């Protein structure tokens, strides 16, 4: 696991921990390194709770209703932390979809939530960091609720791109989704969304090519 330390040092979960503390935490939480192939679906809603730290690759968090309609809730790249949830009555389970060849550290959730008998510093820091990471995930879900609250496809796209522009600190934005994934994320029809993007480019609101977008200055409208 030592070869993973450069990446793990940068993750929210292990922020502020020395290398020896990270290794101790991994051992304490019975960490397992798992590898998944591209497009593999991970679905364990009824099994043991766990935390998944993305070491390499990326994940999509999605739901499907009984008719097979997909809704994408978010994505996690290297350093991202996903906390699994057991299925609840009346709530559709979450699916984790591997977008590219991916390596995860799987950490035992229940062990993490029980401080060590020694109240070791590493465990206490990890619990604090986990709370911060899960708050960030909740904030992302609230952002998605803001997009979905917009009435039109154009408004949803502009709201999403504006927030991505602020997060990336540039009007030139890299979007992690394919067109179909973006449509599923914004809960719109893919064909209608592509038509709207063409209109928005014609109206001078943006330029785009594949997953790269640029929001234009108002004077260019």
The string of pLDDT tens digits covering residues 73-120 is 888 888 888 876 555 455 556 667 777 678 888 887 777 777 666 667
* pLDDT tens by residue, 52-68: 888 888 888 887 776 77
Q: Is 152 left (phi over 0), alpha (psi -120 to 50) or beta?
A: beta
Enclosing H/E stretch for 173: strand 172-174
Q: What is the mean pLDDT of residues 208-220?
A: 82
What number of residues does the chain have? 221
> Average pLDDT in the 174-198 region?
94
Give me the mean pLDDT over the 17-29 stretch. 87
Q: What is the mean pLDDT of residues 119-138?
A: 81
Is the model more confident about 186 or about 105?
Answer: 186
Domains of the chain, earliest start first: 2-137 (2.60.120.10), 149-220 (1.10.10.10)
């Amino acid at each position: 696991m030592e070869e993973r330390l450069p990446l793990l040092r940068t993750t929210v979960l292990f922020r502020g921990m020395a290398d020896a503390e990270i290794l101790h935490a991994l051992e304490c939480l019975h960490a397992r390194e798992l590898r998944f192939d591209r497009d593999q679906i991970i679905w364990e809603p009824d099994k043991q709770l766990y935390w998944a730290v993305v070491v390499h690759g990326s994940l999509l968090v999605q739901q499907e209703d009984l008719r097979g309609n997909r809704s994408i809730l978010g994505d996690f790249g290297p350093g991202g932390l996903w906390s699994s949830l057991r299925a609840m009555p009346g709530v559709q389970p979450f699916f984790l979809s591997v977008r590219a060849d991916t390596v995860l550290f799987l950490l035992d959730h229940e062990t993490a939530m029980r401080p060590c008998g020694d109240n070791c510093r590493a465990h206490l820091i990890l619990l604090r960091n986990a709370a911060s990471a899960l708050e960030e995930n909740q904030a992302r879900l609230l952002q998605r609720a803001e997009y979905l609250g917009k009435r039109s496809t154009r408004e949803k796209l502009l709201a999403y791109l504006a927030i991505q522009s602020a997060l990336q600190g540039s009007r030139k934005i890299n979007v992690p989704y394919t067109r179909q994934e973006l449509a599923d994320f914004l809960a719109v029809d893919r064909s209608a969304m592509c038509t709207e993007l063409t209109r928005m480019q014609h109206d001078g609101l943006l330029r785009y090519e594949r997953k790269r977008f640029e929001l234009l200055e108002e004077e260019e409208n």
